Amino acid sequence: MAAKRILIVGLLATIWMTAVLGRLGYLQLLRHSDYMARAQRQQKRVIEITPKRGSIFDRNMHPLAMSIPVDSAFAVPSELADEQLAARLLSGVLGIPRDVLEQRLESSRTFVWISRKLPPEKREAVEALNLKGVYFQKENQRFYPKRDLASHVLGFVDMDEKGLGGIEYELDSQIRGKSEKIIVMADARQRWFDGGEAQRERGANVVLTLDEKVQYIAERELAVAIARTHAIAGTAIVMNPSTGEILGLANWPKFNPNAANDAPAESRMNRGISALYEPGSTFKLITLAAAFDQGITRPTEVFDCENGAVYIAGHRIRDHKPFGLLSVADILAQSSDVGAIKIALRLGAPKFYDYIRTFGFGQPTGVDMPGESKGLLRRLENWTPVSIGSISMGQEVGVTPIQLISAVSAIANGGMLYKPHVIAELRRGEQVLPAEGPLAPAEPRRVIRPETAATLRRLMEGVVLNGTGKLAHLDGWTAAGKTGSAQKIDPATGRYSPTHFIASFTGFAPISNPAVAILVSLDSPVGLHEGGMVAAPVFKRIAEQVLPYLDVPRDVPVGSQLMQASYKSRDVSDSAALEDFTPADFSGLPDQPPAETSVPNSKESKSAPPAVTVAVDEGGDIEVPDFSGKTMREVTEACIHLGLDPVLVGSGLATNQTPAVGAKLRRGAKITVQFGAPASKIEKPKQRVRP
């Protein structure tokens, strides 16, 4: 009997164990994936957060845009003891309406965002509430350390770090990289903890052709001009005419990409590539380029400008002032509309149209920034009998600043039209990524003969020396350019406005080997509206700071006026000035330009410079003489005689110099000389060599 019971118990145990093992085998082998998926759904949440975008640098690897880690707050509603109380407390510290927070908490029981990318003070305030069920997660936020510097070129991003403008939009897929996923785990009691980050591929870094110091100069001088002229908008572009590289592109109004949503759409518009305007007299460069290239006229040929009026197809077109007989060179220098019309009529509409298209007008330049306008140029068959006259003086055609400066750069470099660009390269770590698609370099194409370009450069120099662009004359460098004053169309009447103009100046320097081409455009200046009066001085101020910063040698004898190269040793090279640069820097600007350093009197300028004894070692190095007590003219002439490049700072008599007396310099080296009160009134400073 006992053996029978044992057998029954053993049999039952065997059946039970077989059932258990069978069930375990079924669950572990056949249903494993199903139950594992259920467990993961209950215990794990994969949260997609903003990826870390690549950084954007200027040409000298100074950061202009970067991504930084910030905290975002999320909640697990099932862990909250009182959702309404939590919503009320969070609303007080975050400034989010209570009903909005309640709706978020009711939308899910497992995970909801409370507020993303919190400032440090709000993060601390939420943490101080010590609410169970509220957690923090690191995300990436785009940060622009120079604030509004180059904002139209850089662009901006949305909350999810997607590019919405500028380079951020143009290269979004390369900069953004792949989305980041954060794994958040829960234990059996639904207590949440960070499960770690998923692996991802970082976005590429971008190196621009921009130079942050050139950009700062362009933005500062444009802002000064806007404040002085009360223009509603403006653009300044600095370009290398021999490569198409954009060194600086400034627009006004401007915005801070760190708070792009606070700025109106008008402020975020990149006017340098999108704004259409009639170029006015600057377009006469294209008229003369076509005429010279076709050999139908020459600079010395004289035209009768008929006392300021000409008839075309029964329409009378008047000049801005009456002119009689003018040579072609004077037609450009004095900006005669009648003269330009007569040259265009001799050229003929078909050839004129071909040259306009060849220079790139009426089509995109292909610049690597989004939002470029192709301009406005009617097809030749749609021209009216009066169109050739209007277009020859810059009417009936719409251009963008980038189109015009590209065309002028072709004149500057000898006739080659380069594709303007602002992206130098893409990098991932130390690896330079291959340039593909729109980033691939484009071969320049010839638009005019080198002889034509040389002739135009000489005539454009005459505009600066003797014509409408005298206020663009540079101290120390030759310069060439053209002024423009174009009437705007009045939207109410459809006719040209008598009071609203686009004042512009575009040119380059130096003439023999142009290092920079610069365009300045001011929209609707109040009072003086001529390009030669309001835009040409801006060209001068930008050029006289950029050229010495780029170490461009002077090609004319330096007078005793202020050497603008001193900007390089002052605010231009002062990185702290760039770090502290804010829109507020432009408030309260004076109505007059900064006072220039005083000039030695005429008697001093006429007196012969005293002899300076120097010693030259056997290797040909120059020993620096003592300039103490010398005038600016004396120092300048002595330096030119020695083959040194003087940088003069201040006014009066020389008080200090770097390098010190006796230092050995090679020919062409820079020497900085400071000027101040007469030597008799100050203690002679001790000379020392800059470390």
Please, where are the H alpha helices in 271-384? Answer: 271-274, 284-294, 328-333, 337-347, 349-358
Non-local (6+) Cβ contacts of 365 within 8 A are: 273, 372, 400, 402, 403, 406, 419, 420
CB 394 within 8 A of CB 482: no
Better-scored residue on pLDDT, 619 or 418: 418
Non-local (6+) Cβ contacts of 691 within 8 A are: none
Non-local (6+) Cβ contacts of 385 within 8 A are: 312, 313
CB atoms within 10 A of CB 475: 18
How is residue 67 written in tokens? 């991504």
For residues 207-233, give the mean pLDDT: 96
pLDDT band per the 50, 70, 90 thresholds, residue 181? low
pLDDT exceeds 50 at position 597: no
pLDDT exceeds 70 at position 263: yes
Domains observed in the chain: 46-208 (3.90.1310.10), 212-258+270-434+442-586 (3.40.710.10), 602-681 (3.30.10.20)
Question: Helix, strand or coil for residue 431?
Answer: strand
Exposure b/e, 591-613, CB count within 10 A at least 16 = b? eeeeeebebbeeeeeeeeeeebe
For residues 11-25, give the mean pLDDT: 82
pLDDT exceeds 70 at position 480: yes
pLDDT score recorded for residue 575: 40
Query: What is the overall mean pLDDT for the chain?
Result: 83
The whole-angstrom distance between residue 237's C-alpha and the CA centroid of its chain comes to 8
Provide the whole-model pTM: 0.74
pLDDT band per the 50, 70, 90 thresholds, residue 651? low
CB 351 within 8 A of CB 372: no
pLDDT band per the 50, 70, 90 thresholds, residue 80? confident
pLDDT score recorded for residue 599: 33
pLDDT band per the 50, 70, 90 thresholds, residue 555? confident
**How many angstroms separate the CA atoms of 507 and 457, rounded?**
10
Q: How many angstroms separate the Cα of 199 from the Cα of each of 209, 431, 634? A: 32, 20, 67
pLDDT digits (tens, 9 = 90+) for 337-375: 999 999 999 999 999 999 999 999 999 999 999 999 999
For residues 302-315, give the mean pLDDT: 89
**How many angstroms separate the CA atoms of 478 and 450, rounded?**
19
**How many angstroms separate the CA atoms of 317 and 225, rounded?**
31
pLDDT score recorded for residue 48: 66
